[in-house]
Each structure stands twice: as C-alpha cells, then as structure tokens.
Chains A and B, each alone.
Chain A
C-alpha cells in the first residue's frame, strides 16, 4: 500500500487544488449539468404546470439537488481518497440497512408501484443510487488488496459477487431490475478489468439466463418491454408507445432541432419526459448536434475517468476511479441506447441530465471521488 505504483503524477499535481485537478472532467460534468437543468425545465414545465400548477416545480427541485451535489463533490474532492478506504464497511452497512428499510411498508416511499425511496424529513433518498457508490468503494478496496489473487475464484470472484448480490437482492425486491442489472454489470466490468478469468464471467452470464428468464419473461410488464424493444411498431398504442414517441421526438428534431421549448412529444405524448426520456426531448429540441454534444461530453468524462485510473498513485485509486467512471459511463450509455431503441426499456436515468435528486447527488459524488483521485496522485493524507 505504501508504494505508489505509478510515479508520473508525483509532484506535478501535488500542489494543484483538488477541485480543478482535472479541469476537463469538471467542465464536462458541469456542462452536462447545465444541459440537464435547461432540459429538465423545458421537458417538465408542461407536466409540472398540470400537476403542481408551477411549471418550474421540477426545475427548482433539480437546481436544489445540483447545489447539494456540487457541495458533496467539492467536499469529496478536497479529501485524500485514502480516507475513503476506511469508510467502505460503514458505507456498505449503511446502504444495506437503507435498502432493507425501503422495503418495510410505512418507511419506504412507494411511487409507480415500486418502493424505492426513503423519506428523510423533507428530502427523499433513493438508497439504490447510493448503493452504487458503496459497491464501488468496496470493490476498489477489495480488488486493490487482492490484486495478486485476481484470478482466484474463491478469494476474489466469489466474495465480490457475494457483496454485490447482497446489495442487489433488496433492490430486486423493490423491484428495480434496471438498477440491479447496473450493479451486477458494474461488478462484472470491474472484475474483468481487475483480471478475473473470462470463464467465470461467462459462467455467470450463462447462469443469468434462467434467472433473467424468471425475472423478465414471467413478469408481464418486463416481457412487454422486451417485445416493444424488438418490434415497437407492432403495438404503437400499448407497449411500443414510449419508444415510438421517443423515435418521433428524435425524428422531429432532425439536425438542428425544433428549438428549446419546441418539443411536442413532451406534451404528455412521451411519458417521463424529464427523467428516463429526457434525451429524446433534448434530441427533439436541440437536434442531432445537441444530442451528439451530450454524448461527446460523456465520452470526455469517461476518458478522463480512465486517465485518472491510469494515473492514480495506487491500485485503490485506480479501481475507485474505474468504478466511478463506470457508474456514470455505463448508465449514460444504457440510457441513450434505450432512448434510441437499441436496448429494452430499463427505467434508468441519464446521469447529470435526468431529473432526480439521489441520482444527481450520486453522480456528483462520483466526480468528487474522481477529482480526489486525480488530485492526490503524489501524496497521502
């Protein structure tokens, strides 16, 4: 642990203030947030006006959470990430507790048929979002400490999977299949990068098939989603409704877009215009250039994350950076793919853009952690 496995960061960045230790990373995250605030307002104003008689309802909430997220990010970035290694078990324990609490009727807050939120005073927290960070912290520490046995089934693969499973089970029970799959794929990719045997991953994937059959095929609404994905035009009024209206939004946008506020699909044609399908509204109002800009910003963020992982002073830093990058990158990719009909509907938000407090704060936390890794390449707390 004592040794910096990488020397090139030594000295040079040691004096830089952590928050601007990686300006590209910070700027792309802030730019995405700015896009998000504008699009949340534009896409939700009609809905908010109808539901709350305040067209800025969602926008105000989002702005509040962005401010909270910025605070969390600044705080996390300023601390040496070495400190977070010690937090792993508390984080895991706390998140697990929260996940279980969510399932208890009366404590967990239900919305749309799923119990996903915990009410803490005036704010409500989605513990599954926090579980992503806790899992990444755990995996980063465990993989870093067991790098030598990275190919071991029992010393690395199974324990990591067990912890991930412990978090996934209560999330599955919420139910939130999208988030469960996110946590599992996060674990798989981190294990893969750490160097686990490909056969283990293959076996797990094979084992997942009957499980997915059970979880997807036998649950009508999920099965419909798969069908809708495969052939949305079959049932435009039913299962294909969402994805078709996403297509229509993107198609209406064209290259230049219809202009901010010009989306017609957001006018209740497109369900959840400000959360899962915010990218469709963005594509309609800002066109291809806007959509491509957002995707490019995410790619910049991913590459800066990979760079941070490569340049980290130790393996914990590497894996922590990797995990945080994955949280943002994987989810961005999956959400965009869903919006464009390349993956079945999952119910995943688009980091930094979609409306949602816990999601925003979690993503800023990830950037904070990345900045901390980037900003503490040469010295230790």
Chain B
C-alpha cells in the first residue's frame, strides 16, 4: 500500500473492523435471544396453535364390518363413496374455489364459500357424494380441496330386519340396533392418522396402497335367518294392515338356545334413508315397549301352581259362573264357567279360574316364579334400549292386585321377555338368554368371538314344564281359544292373550286391545317359539282371532326354514325332497349356473348377471362403477339393462333378486 496510508488511519481501520465484529456478535446474541423467546417462552401457545392446525383433523374411520345373517347373506355392507373436504387455510381464493365447487357438487354457492372461509384446518364440504360428482370435483384439481374415501353404509334389503340391524349415521357410528350394540366391533380401530395430514390436506404416511388396506371392522353374523325374517315381516305387515292396527311385533326363537331367528316390529323404516322416517319408527317395540300380557300370563300362573305342587293339571276350581267379586272389584269371564280343571282354565282362558289358582299359590311364590321366567328384569339381549318391564314386589300386592296379575293386568312385559319365558316352557323349564349375534369374525373370516347359548336359570321343573306344555296344547285343540294358530300336522302349544290397553286417562280402554299369541311347536319336540302381538287391531281384537292366523303362518315358515319334518308321516315326505338344510349350514341355492361375467366385461358389455348372488353383483357394480339398485334377495332373476348392452361408467343397473326355489 502506498505511504499515504498513515499509521493513524490504519489504527482506525482496525478499530472499525473490531467494532464490526462486536456488532455482529450483538446481532447474533439478539437472534439467540429471540430463539429463546420463540422456542422456550412462547413455546406453549405456539405448539398449541400448531397442533390445532394439523391435529384437530377428522379421524379416518375404517370400513365398517358387514352384518351377515346366519347363512352369511349380507344384510348391511359398506360401499365405497367419497367425501369432499377443504383446508380453508390453504385456499387463497375462497370465492372462486367455492363457485367452482358448488357447481360440481350442485350445492348453494354461499354455503360452500362460507365453509371455505372458516378459520379451520379442515372442513367437510360434502360427504358421501355420488361418483359423478366426486369425479367432477377431482377433475377441477382445486388447491386445498380434496377427496377422501369414506365408505357409506348400505342395507341391500332396505326395511328387512331394520330393527335388528338399526343403522349407522354419517360418521359411520352405529346409532340403533346391532349397529349400535356392536359398534366398536363393526367399526374396528379408528386410525389416528389425523396428526399426519399435510398442508395440502393429504394424508401423509398413508400411501394410496394404504387406502386399500384401510383397517376394517369385524363382521357380525346374526342368528337371524334372512328368508324367515322376510316372511315374518310380510305376514306381520299383512296382519297389521288387515286389522288396521297401529303396530305389531313378531319374534321367532330357538327355545333350546335363545337364538332369535326373526324379530320384526312395525312400523318399520328404511335404514338407507332413515332420516326420512319418523323417529318413532326406529323404535324396536319388541324390546323397548312394554304391554300388559293379558291372558298369556295365565300360563306362568299355572307354571307356579304346578311347580309349587299347589295344583295338578286336573285340579278343579270353581269359576263362579263368570262373575266374581273380590276386593271391591268384579272379575268377569267371557263365558260362564262352573267347575274347571287347571288345564281347562288355560284352554278356555278363564280369568276367575286363573285368579283362584294364583291365590292358591300365594303372592310370594307367584312373584318368584314370574321372576324366574325373566319378568321384571332385562333379558340382556344384545340390542340397545331394552326395557325391563314392570313387576311390582309382591309385598305391595293387595288381593285384588294378585287376582289381576294372574290374568295379566298390573304387570307389563316386553315382547321379547314374553317370548323368552314361553321358550323356557318349551325348553323343559330352563330359561335361556335371547341373543341376535351368533359370532364375530375378522376380515379373513377367522372367528373372533362366538356367542354361546347362555342359561339364565331354571324357571320351573322339567316334569312340570311337560305338564304345562300338555295344557298349552289344549289351547289349540277344538274348543280352545287358539284354534286358529294350528299348524297341522304339527302339535302347537300356546296361549292367547287379549289385553285391554291402558287408557292415557287412567283405567282400561274399552276399545283398544293388544291381541297376542305366544307359543311353540312342535309341542312334543319344540323347534321354534313364536310370538305375535298386534297393537290395537280394529274390528276384531281377540288374540286367537287376530294374532292366531299370523302366528300359524309364521310358525309354518319357521319350521320350513329349520327344515323340520312332520312327525312320522310318510305321505308328508314330499317336503323332504326340498333341499332344506339344517339352519347352521349354508343353504344350497341356485338351480341355474351363473355365467362368468368376465368375457362380457372385457368387451365392455353388460354381462349376464342372472344367477349371481347379491354379493357378487355388488362387487361387480363397485368395480364397474355402476349405480346399482337392488330389489329382493336371493339370486338375480332379472336385470336392466339387458345382457350384451354396451357398458357405460356410472350407468344405472337395476337387478331383481329372488330366492332359489327348492326343487325347481
């Protein structure tokens, strides 16, 4: 450097360099201070805010498990549908985006824009939309908007077994029936992928492949037989319609196990569109509603008398010629009877006789017997919302109360309790817990849990149960009240009930009755317990008249389903030719071999679907993205469009199914 540079100048230059270094030091210390501020002092609220953004997201619910009937027919399935979500924080032009979205979704624009403007990390825009709209949204490729696979619950048979199945709501949460009771099982593990969602709203660490292996819930196999359930519903509906009743109940149970083969309640609803039905129709009256059992209760009075040895079937009672005053009240019989045996009291359904039998037994013993038959306590069936009924403690019974209870007044039972108690008679006195779910299996079909028949306790002695059965058999014999419930040639044991309904104003209604028939068959070797209750029939109100014929039809259908053959009558063996397997095995179906759909599909043509099962058709429709509409059950018999037509995506497909006819 030139000599012009003075020593002084150099000195100042060095000083300024050091000052610069110190300045940098001060600056970097400031930065560290700020880092401490952000990372230590403000950490709490920053972290909370960060987590709010990427953690408070929607949980990915796995595909809900299938509900099968006892023969592995699908009653509730989950179909793949997509839902549109948005990440408002990532949308810079909510107006524009909203406009395009609303067009694609056919939704009001303001509604969409409003959602897009919400200050949240994640909002649903539209859920479980049809494939057309999903495709339209996808093709828009909007930033901050995405689609998620959200399976939708589909009940292929609409109303069928709606009260058993219940339904699952928007968030795939079971709200009623088995869907609710077995919700955690069906739903499976809700995967917490929520914190792994990136700013584009994509699910991180969940590669497309992971979507196909979306965790699925377990499948539930019911004890219900779909074909029987269908017939039970049909018969019950016809009866309810015939008598312009306000409702009805029907239950079919296996007495030895407690398995419920069919359970119907009217009014019903369609779980696919449950929102369109009144809330009232969701109620499974068989377990939620209680009613006075009326004369059906006499069989349990008789059971108490037999069990306590206070009476034998032939024990005689004076029935006061149809009118008997007790405790300031007068009890009537429909006919004037003099001396009747216990057996006849049941057969003719004498109120006075039943009251006298009950008084002979005594309040405490009666009460204990009723308790042992399951009254006044929940049956612990695997459905939600069960009522326990009303059975007041015997200490509070006045003599007139005791008399009334003996013909089913002043007690209240659910239909299922009544069916369960009748089943105990059929089962030699052993009370079984009723149940609707046979087993839970995982995705690969491995048994996760099997519900075994469960003994609740002994309600009466076996010998006495036999005696009672013999008495109940008389009910359907000529002269009895239940002759219309006969299922020839099978012997039927049962009891009619015609219970006056309680008037809301107090006292008993003179016009509204519950018509009941409860019983089992074949009486000598019980296979099925059937209960039919018709709520407030018009015109007729006797249990034997109103409920009896329906009971007979249902019982016959139940025996058909169970493959029960008439006892030892060779001429009746025609039915044996039918391929009616025992209930536990897969029913042999299909007389017609279905055509393999693959070649037609390869040519882009509608395959011949006839002969395919619902499950096969559903899978095919899913793969080909067809909008399917299903009618009936069994195998496909007709289809629209016809086979051979050119397939278009998202085409509508309508199939009618029918059960395979035996021997055809």
Contacts and interface: CB of A to CB of B under 8 A. Distances in A.
A98 B10 CA distance: 37
A247 B91 CA distance: 20
A288 B40 contact: yes
B24 A193 contact: no
Contact of B89 (A241, A292, A299, A303): A241
A3 B25 CA distance: 32
A253 B28 contact: no
B141 to A, nearest CB: 14
B146 to A, nearest CB: 12
Interface string A301-333: 011001001100011001000100000010001
A254 B24 contact: no
Given A192-B16, A283-B39, A237 B119 contact: yes
Contacts of A238: 92
Contacts of A270: 199
Contacts of B39: 250-251, 253-255, 283, 287-288, 291
B488 to A, nearest CB: 74
A295 B26 CA distance: 12
Interface stretch (B43-51, B251-259, B446-454): B43-51
Interface in B1-53: 1-5, 9-10, 12-14, 16-18, 20-21, 24-25, 27-28, 30-32, 34-36, 38-40, 42-43, 45-47, 49-50, 53
A299 B53 CA distance: 35
Contacts of A48: none
B204 interface: yes
A268 B143 CA distance: 12
Contacts of B36: 288
The majority secondary structure among interface residues of chain B is helix
Interface string A225-269: 000000000001110010000011111111100000000110111
B199 A268 contact: yes
Interface in B430-468: none
Interface residues of B, number: 48
B198 interface: yes
B17 A252 contact: no
A252 B50 contact: yes
Interface in B86-116: 88-92
A269 B54 contact: yes
Nearest to A314: B1
Interface in A188-240: 189, 192-195, 236-238
Given A194-B13, A251-B46, A302-B24, A340 B198 contact: no
B590 interface: no
Contacts of A287: 39
A133 interface: no
A193 B35 contact: no
B135 to A, nearest CB: 23
Contact of A303 (B1, B21, B32): B21
A147 B9 contact: yes
The majority secondary structure among interface residues of chain A is helix
A296 B20 CA distance: 16
Contacts of A252: 43, 46-47, 50
Interface residues of A, number: 58
B180 to A, nearest CB: 36
User: Which of A3, A144, A306 has the most chain B CB atoms closer than 10 A to its own CB?
Assistant: A306
A53 interface: no
A24 interface: no
A337 interface: yes
Contact of B43 (A1, A5, A150, A251): A251
B144 to A, nearest CB: 10
A342 B1 contact: no
A340 B34 contact: yes
B381 interface: no
Nearest to B25: A299
Contacts of A59: none
Contacts of B470: none
Interface in B103-140: 119
Contacts of A248: 46-47, 49-50, 53
Contact of B14 (A253, A265, A310): A310
A208 to B, nearest CB: 20
A247 B50 CA distance: 9
A267 B14 contact: no
Contacts of A296: 28
A309 B19 CA distance: 13
Contacts of B50: 248-249, 251-252, 264-265
A110 B629 CA distance: 54
B557 interface: no
Given A265-B50, A306-B17, A195 B1 contact: no
Nearest to A4: B1
Nearest to A333: B27
Contacts of B18: 306, 310
B533 to A, nearest CB: 59
Interface in B315-373: none
Contacts of B13: 147, 193-195, 318
B1 A340 contact: no
Contacts of A310: 14, 17-18
26 contacts: A5-B1, A46-B198, A144-B1, A145-B2, A147-B1, A148-B9, A195-B13, A248-B46, A250-B39, A251-B38, A251-B43, A252-B43, A253-B39, A254-B40, A254-B47, A268-B200, A269-B53, A269-B198, A287-B39, A291-B39, A296-B28, A302-B25, A306-B20, A318-B17, A322-B17, A342-B31
3 closest A-B pairs by beta carbon, nearest first, are A251-B46, A148-B4, A268-B199
